[in-house]
Chain A
């Protein structure tokens, strides 16, 4: 009897496990894509049907599946010879690094993968997660080459190409946004800013401070002391190492600590002075504070940041900013104070790569190539299905009647992630000539390359130092940027901490690598 009881219990336990197992199994098959059915009429080229998995950061869209189906229909009709389908696999921004690292390390199937220097491109290459693309590009990427040929260098590691840069604007401009209503009210003379010096903003800030209580003259924390300053004065190599390009001979390639330049001190002092005078908001460092919200609420006058790219941009020339006006919900003027040069970093800021776990890298490259030539495919991916997710109004993208960005089911702003941006539609409210402006702007920028364009720093030998330097900076940099710390007192302290964290070693390493690169390229 006892034996019977025991065995029945064992049996019960077994059943429980099998039920559990069956449960997972069942769910699993239900979730696996059913799209592997043979598309007919494609056998002629001999290419087997293949599903290209695209992994990119984006908030999941409700109608993802619909758009994916539409893209597949389109691919089947227009390019039957490629015999491929696509699977869109967006990953939440916040989960991106954890998830892609796991997927990569475990060899999950991925074909096309969005990557960027700020999303761990270097580590992905070091770990061997990406495929070298040179041969694939030469064979299957003619339309990519047509627009990106000159810009592959920065994505190369050890002479092999690992990422394909999105064709888009090649740099940015930084400057100051002004609330037009207030500029008009006090009829500020904007020609004062022709010099391109942020200092000349001071009289305006003073007027606003005196006459408009309740309005912050200059909204922080997005006061990008660093951005505005570094691209105008430095060729940045890695967070703290840079080459000073102001007042040095053109063939001077001495690497310095970017925080030691006089201009940094000057701007930090200015920010601190403005903070003390009450021009900058005191809550600048509150997490989650959004400067644009302040502008929206009508509580801000000026704001330093990245500008829209417009036609005929010049340093110091004021113009209405279309994007800024949308973000602030009121008319905003923009005055560029700095226009980027062609920098290596920008070229690796948005790329697509092919994962090592791809089962058919050729097909992945073919699909990527389509994004550089096929406006319809690009539009499907970027804006969804016409009539359902967008309608065309005078050649611009608008939301269908009665829909909002929340309700529409497919609305994301990731046009900058893939393909040839110049093929894209603009949205209603944007400058219809946006992409022509980009082209023009690109000519301007590419005619003015950084003196170390193409040099890529390998951070591996000084990885630990860079981490501790970052930690040392964290204590001070935000406080300096928002003006809350006195730079005369704090900057020396920061430099000391950086030194203790190994700044000298980083700079020496940067110098060493740079010298080797210069020699190789015959510049020295």
Chain B
């Protein structure tokens, strides 16, 4: 076995895997560009016989709604990720310090949140009854701020890759806790920050459920919710058309190509963010995940 060249089997397997990832995108793109009538008659195809840009034109006409949803999603994602990184790393850092008295108790607390969830109803009640954030952007940001899993990855990263002696020496040099945290720890933790940042970016960007639960005001709908809503409404109306047995309930299915065009638009930013953060990805995750 030669060690220099990569095993062809691996290449083939990975190529197939990449194709399996790319082909759906290709299909979605093609349908978004296909002529609606053609799709109705012939079904989905990787190379539609007739192209048209009607779907995108239609979306431009509806641009106000989509742009606003885009704005909401972007704002929520950016604020959410920044605040979330701060909160998560602050908690993880505290937990990584052996001197911290509540270390055990808090770790257990976090572990419990990973294993058991409180359920939908208490979750809803906390945000609507105690925090009263329903129908505000806060409702989209706050629920995603801290995840037990992320805290644990970060904590492990801090314990493993930051020698306690570094903290000691910085404190001997006169740095207080906050100084140590901001000027020593954070700059050293870029890989794990980028990794967790990407996790939270993806989860904030893809989140539609919190919009569904908390947002009534159409102006605050996030992009993904707008998309999901269209799809859910269509399938719901189709299933009830017979059940409600109502002759007046007219089913209006959204145009197939428009749905696909919306999907293309919605994945945009993530496709752009991914390549830039990817290089940190492996490093951050492996270092953070291995318990040393």
Q: Which residues of A contact B (CB under 8 A)?
A: 2, 5-6, 9, 20, 23-25, 27-28, 31, 59-60, 89, 92-96, 98-99, 102, 105-106, 108, 116, 118, 168-169, 171-172, 222, 224, 227, 283, 286-290, 292-294, 296-297, 299, 305-309, 323, 327, 346, 349-350, 413-416
Contact = CB atoms under 8 A, between A and B. Distances in A.
B213 A99 contact: yes
6 smallest A-B Cβ distances: which pairs?
A94-B232, A27-B136, A416-B246, A93-B236, A118-B243, A24-B138
Given A98-B213, A106-B121, A293-B40, 7 more contacts: A5-B178, A23-B136, A106-B125, A288-B256, A293-B253, A294-B41, A308-B247
27 contacts: A6-B178, A24-B131, A24-B138, A28-B136, A31-B136, A93-B236, A94-B228, A94-B229, A94-B233, A95-B212, A98-B213, A102-B213, A105-B124, A116-B244, A118-B244, A172-B247, A222-B242, A286-B43, A287-B235, A290-B253, A294-B41, A297-B41, A349-B244, A349-B245, A350-B246, A413-B248, A416-B244
Given A5-B176, A93-B237, A25 B248 contact: no
Interface in B17-52: 37, 40-41, 43-44
Looking at chain B's contact residues, the main secondary structure is helix
B229 A28 contact: no
Contact of A299 (B41, B133, B231): B41
B129 interface: yes
Nearest to B225: A95
Contacts of B132: 24-25, 28
Contacts of B246: 168, 349-350, 416
Interface string B243-273: 1111111110100100000000000000000
A175 to B, nearest CB: 13
Interface string B76-113: 00000000000000000000000000000000000000
A169 B238 CA distance: 21
Interface residues of B, number: 50
B135 A28 contact: yes
A211 B124 CA distance: 60
Given A31-B135, A31-B217, A59 B43 contact: no
Contacts, number: 128
Given A92-B229, A105-B121, A309 B212 contact: no
A288 B234 contact: yes
A152 to B, nearest CB: 19
B137 interface: yes
A296 B124 CA distance: 44
A290 B251 contact: yes
Contacts of A296: 40
Contacts of A94: 228-229, 231-233, 235-236
Q: Give the interface centre of B41, B213, B235 by most chain A CB atoms within 10 Å.
A: B41
Contacts of A222: 242
Interface centre among B120, B244, B251, B253 (most CB of A within 10 A): B244
Contacts of A20: 138
A27 B43 CA distance: 46
Given A59-B233, A413-B248, A416-B244, A98 B212 contact: yes
Contacts of B138: 20, 23-24, 27
A416 B131 contact: no
A9 B43 CA distance: 61
Contacts of A287: 235
Contacts of B128: 106, 108
B183 interface: no
A92 B233 contact: yes
A96 B229 CA distance: 11
B242 A224 contact: yes
A310 B211 CA distance: 43
A308 to B, nearest CB: 6
B240 interface: yes
A86 B217 CA distance: 18
Contacts of A309: 247
B155 to A, nearest CB: 20
Contacts of A297: 37, 40-41
B244 A350 contact: yes
A73 to B, nearest CB: 23
B207 to A, nearest CB: 14
Nearest to B125: A106
A317 B124 CA distance: 54
A416 B245 CA distance: 10
Contacts of A416: 244, 246, 248-249
B229 A95 contact: yes
Contacts of B235: 94, 287-288
Contacts of A224: 242
B232 A93 contact: yes
